[in-house]
Amino acid sequence: MLSFTERTITIIKNIPPGKVMTYGQIAKYAGSPRGARQVVRILHSMSAKYHLPWHRVINSKGEISFKDDDAFSAQKQFLEDEGIVFTKKHVIDLKAYQYHPIELDEDIF
């Protein structure tokens, strides 16, 4: 069985272009429903090494969590380039864009 970190990396790698997942949603699929902060840590420390599509991970309100203007703008631009539309308040409609893997492939885990 894979570790939480390995499952998290696999889930993030499989988020398709034009879709997003929340930190908490990823944690739940990876086996730790209360592990959203661990997902943040994994993204921060391993995105470059594993070429993770970090920009497809947002908070549960449908917002980009970066407070830094440059990082916020970069993530927003990446998502817009994939066809994701933001409201005037920089929020993503989760009903339209949230990725819900129906069944995670047993071979992945």
CB 52 within 8 A of CB 46: yes
Spatial neighbors of 41 by CB under 8 A, at least 6 apart, are: none
Share of the chain above pLDDT 90, in %: 85
Does the domain at residues 4-97 carry the CATH identifier 3.20.20.70? no
The whole-number average pLDDT for the span 32-46 is 96
| Long-range contacts (CB closer than 8 Å, 24 or more residues apart) made by 72-81 | 79/20, 79/55
Backbone φ/ψ region at 101: left (φ over 0), alpha (ψ -120 to 50), beta = beta
pTM of structure: 0.90
The whole-number average pLDDT for the span 5-28 is 96
**Domain assignments of the chain as residue spans, ordered by start:** 4-97
